[in-house]
């Protein structure tokens, strides 16, 4: 899922999207989940939410600069 796909997708479509991890990403994910005492899916969900918040702020900032 690329940036344009995220930008043009509805929230429902984004929530139902499947994300795939590379093998080298699994160990840090497992370690983070264990350290925070939450599930790995919660770590992924929070990471995606944080990225989307950043992305939306970045888009809004870019629109203000162009205006």
> What is the full per-residue pLDDT of the chain (67 aa) written as tens digits?
444 445 556 666 655 566 666 777 788 889 999 999 999 999 989 999 999 999 998 888 877 776 6
Buried b (16+ CB within 10 A) or exposed e, 46-59: eeeeeeeeeeeeee
């Amino acid at each position: 899922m690329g940036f344009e796909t995220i930008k043009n997708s509805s929230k429902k479509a984004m929530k139902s999207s499947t994300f795939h991890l590379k093998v080298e990403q699994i160990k840090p994910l497992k370690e983070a989940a264990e350290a925070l005492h939450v599930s790995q899916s919660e770590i992924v969900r929070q990471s995606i939410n944080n990225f989307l918040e950043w992305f939306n702020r970045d888009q809004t900032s870019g629109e203000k600069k162009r205006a």
